Chain A
Amino acid sequence: MDLDFTRAEQDFRAEVRAWLAAHVPDPPLPSMDTAEGFEAHREWERLLAAESYSVVSWPREYGGRGASLVEWLIFEEEYWAAGAPGRVGQNGIFLLAPTLFTTGTAAQRDRFLVRMARADDVWAQAWSEPEAGSDLASLRSRAERVDGGWRLYGQKTWSSRAGYADWGFGLFRSDPESARHRGLTYFMFPLRDVTVRPIAQLDGEHGFAELFFDGVFVPDDQVLGAPGEGWRIAMATTSSERGLTLRSPGRFLATADRLVRLARTLNPDPVLADQVARAWLDAEAYRLHTFGTARRLAAGEEIGSASSMGKVFWSELDVRMHTLALQLLGQRGLLSGGAPDSADGGRWLDGFLFSLAGTIYAGTNEIQRNIIAERVLGLPR
């Protein structure tokens, strides 16, 4: 057990910190869920990619730095502490790319990964359907075999970034005789061939969209893994979404530090002060826990269903931190960024609304608790 960072890790942190201090946009970029903001975020990703900072843990040949998991966690701590923009490409980088690395063909990796790292292609996920949310295996969108590929039919929804993204990935039922987890295939498709209807979210922005497939042709070389194997392949991806990759501690550490700074300026009563201190420590617990997870992954262990514990922990912590900030701010906390008296440009309000999605997406926390009970603790189904 050694909680000191090595010389090399400290040097990496210093390098990242210096670069971010010189490059993080000020004022912040407009929301990535607007046309203008989306393109601004794409430009930011290109700036990151030019220094190989957009995907530090990827191999160099695909635009990364071959960084260790610990270095990636350091990068994330610095990234969010610097107030850098949200990652418009995160669904592709954190959900699809791990699967391309494990299951994709060499040709698919060459074709998609470098463009993803540079945000030349921004990817949107197409998992949920109107009748298949937490119960994803009940999905009904289908794929029909045709000469040289497949045609996709049906409807997907809650597809983040799909309003402006370039490509999509998701599961379709390719065997009409199949049920539940069998007979599903993993497809990648350009969104220009799909009818996209943006949906306004709780924050008023069009962060996700519905996708309508009316016989969209997808060639065989855009199938990820073997036909019929989609469920197993996708589960490896969602395990990443819940696990280390999508929600690194850096984001919550930065929020916790901002919360403590806010509390200090407002001199709260002991009840709120106690909750602020608790939230700060919970962020620290998540950080330490993740360093432990990184160590186990580096040693070749699988994390599997235990990633559900992290998902419940960070998503509920995020809601708590933002709720606390709004309580500390009182009425001002509920003002949008455009209001003359808004606090911190409306960031706490935006963060609060965003945090409310966290306990729902990537499998609701109720589903996560079932997974923990059944697969980690071994309780009967």
Chain B
Amino acid sequence: MNFAFSDDQLALAATVKDVLRAHCPPRAVRDAGLDGDRTPAWAHLAKAGLFGMLVPERYDGMGLGVTDAVLAFEETGRAALPGPVAETAAAAPVLLAGDPAAASSVLPGVAAGTTIVSVRLGDQVYAPDADLVDLLILEEDGELHAVPAEAVRLTPQPGVDPVRRLFAAAFDPSPGTRLAHAGPGALRGVTIAVAAQLIGLARHLLETTVGYARTRRQFGAAVGTFQAVKHQLADVAIAIDFAAPLVYAAAFAADRDLPSADRDVSAAKAAAGEAADRAARVALQVHGAIGYTGELDLRLWLARVWSLASAYGNTGLHRSRLRSAILGTPELRRWP
């Protein structure tokens, strides 16, 4: 039992963090929500290996597991990195790996950062950032299809997040688009990646809000001196601190294909979603009226929390699965 990340795992996350600090400042996220670059920092992140982490080595990737990659995904959340990150880096490698023909034609480009992928799977009815991609992986009548972007008819569905934009996607299924089935657990990787991003978003929101509470003065004192404010922020810190281990353990369970993996993934997504939701709620409350405006970048992180909390099963769906898994399993085993 060694519940700690290795030096390699920490180094990968640190590299991604450095790249994001240099090439994805809050201004880049803001620009992505206007008419600016919607995939800022992607070329640099590709060089750092972000998109090849989960791609098998025979397709020019790093062949890593979700456990190796989970902290790097957390960093992309912290920076609110625009673009279909989890879809390209976590969903595509798993979904395509079961189909050698598709894998060999697509995955080298994914690893190199030249092929961008969006997906519409499971309970998701829209594909995020589908207007940016080269390939869509779409579920239709229980079958998976890999469809080149030019063969998909997109309808924008504008919503709360100006950066992670949603699209309805229509196409003509054919034997030529159909993918070999990716097997059970195909959604685990992308769900964990998004859960990790939610943890990162929550960490950023907490840090930013603490910074604001230290400097904003009312009644002659920094608002962060008031216990009513302190206790809300303490509760956010607790929620994050106890959600993150569930995300990391789910990554381990998915890599090992443990019998508990689906339950662990649901636990990760539900806990991360709730922690991020609390962080967002408290961030807005502590910022007060200025937080309720477009003046601050805060709104971009809030919107991403709402968007990702509903991605690949919202909290309610995963809580429902957990209820069945925990009360319905005859023997709950935490250890051998």
Contact = CB atoms under 8 A, between A and B. Distances in A.
Contact of A377 (B210, B221, B319, B320): B210
Given A260-B327, A276-B326, A288-B245, A380 B234 contact: no
Interface string B293-336: 00000000000000000000000000110110111000010111
A2 interface: yes
B260 to A, nearest CB: 10
B4 A296 contact: yes
Nearest to A70: B1
Nearest to A263: B327
Interface stretch (B124-132, B135-143, B186-194, B223-231): B223-231
B67 A273 contact: no
Contact of A369 (B2, B235, B332): B235
B234 A369 contact: yes
A260 B332 contact: yes
Interface stretch (A30-38, A172-180, A277-285, A348-356): A277-285
A258 to B, nearest CB: 11
A289 B245 CA distance: 6
A257 B332 contact: yes
Interface string A291-326: 110111001000000100100110000000000000
Nearest to A376: B237
Q: Which of A4, A257, A285, A376 has the most CB of B within 10 A?
A: A285
A289 B242 contact: yes
Given A295-B3, A373-B231, A270 B323 contact: yes
B214 A274 contact: no
A381 B214 CA distance: 10
Contacts of A246: none
Contact of A373 (B230, B242, B267): B230
B214 A1 contact: no
A257 B330 CA distance: 12
Nearest to A279: B326
B218 interface: no
Interface residues of A, number: 54
Contact of B1 (A278, A280, A291, A299): A291
B51 interface: no
B42 interface: no
A288 B67 CA distance: 15
B213 A285 contact: no
Contact of B322 (A3, A253, A277, A312): A277
A291 B244 CA distance: 13
Nearest to B270: A281
Contacts of B34: none
B174 interface: no
A4 to B, nearest CB: 7
A370 B229 CA distance: 10
Interface string B202-213: 000010001001
Contacts of A270: 323
Q: Which of A270, A277, A374 has the most CB of B within 10 A?
A: A277
Contacts of B6: 1
A292 B271 contact: no
B326 A277 contact: yes
B326 A372 contact: no
Given A13-B335, A378-B214, A1 B327 contact: no
Contacts of A276: 326-327
Given A270-B323, A277-B323, A1 B3 contact: yes
A370 B4 contact: no
Contact of A281 (B213, B253, B326): B326
Contacts of A264: 327
B214 A273 contact: no
Nearest to B206: A377
A379 interface: yes
A251 B313 CA distance: 32
Contact of B242 (A4, A286, A368, A376): A286
Given A3-B252, A284-B334, A292-B4, A260 B245 contact: no
Q: Which of A3, A13, A309 has the most CB of B within 10 A?
A: A3
Given A257-B332, A306-B241, 17 more contacts: A2-B252, A3-B1, A5-B1, A277-B323, A281-B326, A289-B241, A291-B1, A299-B4, A313-B238, A366-B227, A370-B227, A372-B237, A373-B224, A377-B206, A377-B233, A377-B234, A380-B214
Q: 7 tightest CB-CB pairs across the interface, nearest first?
A: A373-B230, A288-B245, A291-B3, A372-B234, A379-B224, A369-B234, A277-B326
8 contacts: A1-B6, A3-B2, A10-B336, A288-B245, A294-B3, A312-B234, A369-B235, A377-B237
Interface of A: 1-6, 9-10, 13, 70, 77, 253, 257, 260, 263-264, 270, 273-274, 276-278, 280-282, 284-289, 291-292, 294-296, 299, 306, 309, 312-313, 366, 368-370, 372-374, 376-381
Interface of B: 1-6, 9, 67, 206, 210, 213-214, 221-222, 224-225, 227, 229-231, 233-235, 237-238, 241-243, 245-246, 248-249, 252-253, 267, 270-271, 319-320, 322-323, 325-327, 332, 334-336
